[in-house]
Structure 1
Amino acid sequence: MILTTWIFIWKTKRRRQIAFLLAVILVLLYLSTYSGIFVKELNQENEDIVILPPETNTEEYPILIWWTPFTPNQRIIRSCSAGNCLITHSRRELNNTRTEAVIFYGSDLKWTDLPLPRDPRLYWALLHEESPKNNWGFATDDGIALFNITSTPSRLSSYPLVTQYLEDLQNLMAPMKTRIEDKSKGERGLVMYLHSDCDPPSDRDSYVSELMKYVQVDSFGKCLHNKDLPEGHLRDPLTGMDSEDLLDIISQYKFTLAMENAICNDYITEKFWRPFYAGSVPVVKGSPMVKDWAPSEHSIILIDDFKSPKELAEYLLYLDKNDDEYIKYLEYKHYGITNLRLLDTMNDREWRVNDYSPGAINHIDGFECFVCNKAIEKRKAAKTGTKLEPLIASRDHYDCEFPKPLVKRRKKPLTWWTDMLYIWRQVAVREKKKMAAITVGIREGKSQDDIGKLYDSVKVTNSSEYRLTSKDYIID
């Protein structure tokens, strides 16, 4: 009996050790996708690199090269307002005298695979609609300044994508799917939470975990999961997240948490817009200027307006008991959108979302033409001797916060296996140092091999640069 008990304990401990090791491996693999912990140099055998036959087109169209291919067209002539450009995936054209710009898709860019030594004659153009979670180098002053033309969520980028997840203003005005008196009834919680990208740099899961102590939050995603979506397509993130069936579920909640995975100016995703479609009130943590894009002055609840999750919960419970106050957040459904900035932006936007009708363009087509027009302008200026203002992106083009805790921690010290915020802070510090190092080398005309070695050589040895301080902890 004693021997049997000992064997059982030994096996149990062994299973825990194996489970822990598997968890560590999964975390490292996960981070390698987003933060560049494991960076592989691209080579000529990499399927992402395209080498086409040399261009023989006799037309003198400017050439734009997608260095990190993001479109299905390996070679296309695009007609834009200033003229035509030949857009290609072929890196063979880098030294072609007709080439005017190189375009990068941010999430696929590797800092160890750049067109170096850099030709100062060529524009570098960046399309990056994602958060810095995918590539933290862009969120640094040095990293973003490598580019001449940008298309990011920021309203101050060259070709802004603030409303990239909003198809049409009419979506915001959709009729209420669930009557107010029927919302959040029975076993249904007061608040809905739907996220499956857990423990991101914004620290949203820590905040929601604390909020759950004071108000019922139904969490349908993988993060803090406590409620299941119905069987079927709703559990498929590729089809379920944009379905009317999901909006039907959201509509049954008075409040929906809309929290981004990172905090950047104007970085607004479907998490923000979806509750409006469904007639649920968004409780928002994201862009510090997110209120600039709400349908009306009183249509969202900002988490930053409350000192703690407890205080927020008290306000939500107050609104739950006072329908007259709650309904004020939904008055835009009756009186219309009053935000002039939102109205003007959508009216002026040349590109569409999920519109495949003849003549409609998406934001990628629009950005290609924006770069094309700039390339033609540069070419004409060179022929006439006209001096153009230099194009250099600044922090305003992609302004993101350093990862910080939304709630105070109870345990000390913070370690990567107990709190992912530790990792994100380390990544941010490391990428800032790497960008500072390689930008100097790029300006000095160093080769890609030199820049790659320089990038890989930068280490972060001083943990005080990313560790939390005593003010971030609760003294038990």
Structure 2
Amino acid sequence: MSQIGGATCTWRYLGRFVTLGIYASVALFVWYTLVPTRSKHKDSIAINNNNADPATALIPVHTKNVVIYAATKFFGHPITTERFLATCPDVQNYCRITQEESEFDNADAVLFHNADYRGSTDKFKKMKSQRKPGVPYVLWSLESPTNDMFRPDSHMINWTMTYRTDSDVWAPYGTIVKLKNPVEVDLNAIWEGKTKTATWLASNCITQNHRFDLIKKIIDNGFEIDIWGNCGKQVSQCAGVDNQESPCVLELIKPYKFYISMENSNCKDYVTEKFWKALNDRMTIPIVLARKYYKDLGVPDSAYIAVDDYATLDEFLAHVKKVNKEKDLFLSYHQWRKEWKVIIGSGFSGWCTLCNKLQDKDYILKNPKSYKDVAWWHSFEMCNNQIASKYL
């Protein structure tokens, strides 16, 4: 027995203390290794309060393996881990997508792509009758209700994964975030690189919101717009939405001052990659039909021009023609670049978010939900396709 600092200490007590310390260390190690961390980040497309690349957005440090069974294809094409988790490669370390029906029983979620959903098949009927608690059935869609109504039966779907901000899993085509620190932007270089007026690349010419009719009327009133794709001239490798990522499209559009970013339907939160890309590396001023849809998504008012800001088409044309001619006025629509950053989502970012959300099994079990009428949720009072009619 010996005395340390005035306290009596024996080797017996010291041995017990060391043993307890070892047990506590092992317990802590097991806890942090096996228990998944609940991510505090709403979605993987968001970035933190810095100017970091969104691809480095935080994911849970401690994770469990997750399997998502894709019960349908994506417009007839396979749904694979390599394609749909490409924007978050780190997530692939613990999350994978399978289309093997044999893995249905072990899946952490079952996903249906709405356009490929066939609810009357024996396969889907079996899934409805054999579902398990804590395994959400997820409905994924990139389309507006004008273009594609939701198909599943009552209470078949637990979560929605769409571009809508109120979806259970948010899967936007893009978003915009405020930078913590302003950045330098060479505005003069933007002006000097613009040699043409306005352009539009589209594959869908006949739409319920009459956008093409309005575009043709704008042209008839003396505002030059070059039209490419199915609605205008054909350009090799550039026509259609499937080639939006082609460098050819960037080269085609970047010399223009304006890009016609009118969607094929005017619906809540339905803002596609054509708007976000026009803002981003194409360095154009998007022309849209209605301000509300972009304001609701937090886009700065000075980043685009909305037709419905003007009482008449003549007033709109007078303004846009002035912007086309005056350098300072044109560059005022690019000042936002110093304080904001566009993040391209393409609608696939929802998969990364879904993988992270599936980490919290306890939350899923304690908060069950299902949609009595998912088609109503998707469509009721969500669209106004009459905005252009005022100007025709």
Query: Which residue is 2:138 aligned to?
Result: 125
Structure number with higher relative contact order (C-alpha < 8 Å, ≥ 6 residues apart): 2
Seen in structure 2, the aligned counterparts of structure 1 residues 214 and 112 have a Cα distance that, compared at 3 Å, is: farther
Residue 473 of structure 1 and its aligned partner are, at CA, apart by: 12
5 Å-filtered alignment, 1:172-187, equals: 179-180=190-191, 183=194
1:64-89 CA distance string (max 9 Å, x none) = 53210452369xxxxx99x9788542
CA spacing shift, 1:150–1:179, aligned 2, 3 Å: closer
Maintained 8 Å contact 2:137/2:158: yes
Distance 1:260 1:146, change over 3 A: farther
2:285 aligned partner, one-letter code: V
Q: Distance in 1 between matches of 2:227 and 2:66?
A: 50
- Answering whether residue 267 of structure 2 is matched by residue 264 of structure 1, we say yes
Asked if the contact 2:230/2:239 (under 8 Å) is kept, the reply is no
Q: Which amino acid aligns with 1:252?
A: P
Bigger strand share: 2
Aligned length: 307
Aligned AA (2:172): V
Asked whether 1:208 is paired with 2:221, we answer: no
Q: How does 1:100-139 map to 2 (within 5 A)?
A: 101-113=109-121, 115-116=124-125, 118-119=128-129, 121=132, 123-132=136-145, 135-137=148-150
Q: State the partner residue of 1:89.
A: 99
How far residue 282 of structure 1 moved from its aligned partner, in angstroms, is: 0.8
1:170-319 equivalences under 5 Å are 179-180=190-191, 183=194, 188=196, 190-225=197-232, 229=235, 232-234=236-238, 238-239=242-243, 241-276=244-279, 277-285=281-289, 288-293=292-297, 296-319=300-323
Q: Distance in 2 between matches of 1:287 and 1:322?
A: 23
Distance in 1 (CA, whole Å) between partners of 2:303 and 2:100 is 48
Match status 1:71 vs 2:79 = yes
Contact 2:209–2:388 (CA under 8 A) maintained in structure 1: no
Deviation per CA, 1:97-152: give whole Å up to 9, x if none: x56642111232234347226336453211222334552236xxx97974211211
Aligned positions of 1:39-50 closer than 5 A: none
**Contact 2:110–2:137 at 8 Å: present in 1 too?**
yes
8 Å contact kept, 1:103–1:126:
yes
CA offsets per residue over residues 326-371 of structure 1, 9 Å max, x none?
32111123x322xxxx78xx6xxxxx869xxxxxx9542442443x
After TM superposition, the structure 1 = structure 2 runs for residues 253-402 of structure 1, keeping only pairs within 5 Å, are: 253-276=256-279, 277-285=281-289, 288-293=292-297, 296-333=300-337, 335-337=338-340, 363-370=350-357, 372-373=358-359, 376-377=361-362, 381=365, 387-392=366-371, 401-402=382-383
* 2:315 alignment partner, SS class: helix
SS of the residue corresponding to residue 200 of structure 1 reads: coil
Partners of 2:210 and 2:230 lie apart in 1 by 12
State the AA in 1 paired with 2:148: N
For the pair 1:404 / 2:390, whether they are aligned, the reply is no
Distance 1:217 1:251 in 2: 16
Residue type of the partner of 1:152? T
Q: Secondary structure at the match of 1:162?
A: coil
Q: Deviations over 1:13-61 (max 9, x none)?
A: xxxxxxxxxxxxxxxxxxxxxxxxxxxxxxxxxxxxxxxxxxxxxxx98
> Conserved in 1, the CA contact under 8 Å of 2:114 and 2:139?
yes
The residue that corresponds to 1:159 in the other structure is 169
Change in 2 beyond 3 A, CA 1:135/1:292: closer
User: Are the structure 2 counterparts of residues 315 and 329 from structure 1 closer, same or farther at C-alpha, using a change threshold of 3 Å?
Assistant: same
Partner of 2:13: none
State the Cα RMSD in Å: 4.6
1:266 and 1:199 map into 2 onto residues whose CA distance is: 21
Among 149, 152, 158, which residue is 1:148 paired with? 158
CA distance in 2, matches of 1:176, 1:249: 20
Give, in angstroms, the shift of residue 212 of structure 1. Answer: 1.6
Deviation per residue, 1:177-231 (Å, 9 max, x gap): 96536745xxx5x322221221133321122122222133323323542x564xx
Cα distance, 1:160 vs structure 2: 0.8
Point out where structure 1 has 5 or more consecutive residues left out of the alignment. 1-59, 75-79, 347-351, 355-360, 382-386, 409-471
1:404 partner letter = N
Q: Which structure 2 segments of 5+ residues have no match? A: 1-63, 83-89
Tell me the SS of whatever aligns to 2:333.
helix
Distance (Å, rounded) in 2 between the aligned partners of 1:131 and 1:173: 37
- 1:254-307 CA distances to partner (integer Å, 9 max, x unpaired)? 221101122222222221122222222111137843124465331111122234
Larger Rg: 2
In structure 2, distance between residues paired with 1:144 and 1:131: 20
Q: 5 Å matches for 1:26-65?
A: 64-65=68-69
CA displacement at 1:392 relative to structure 2: 3.9
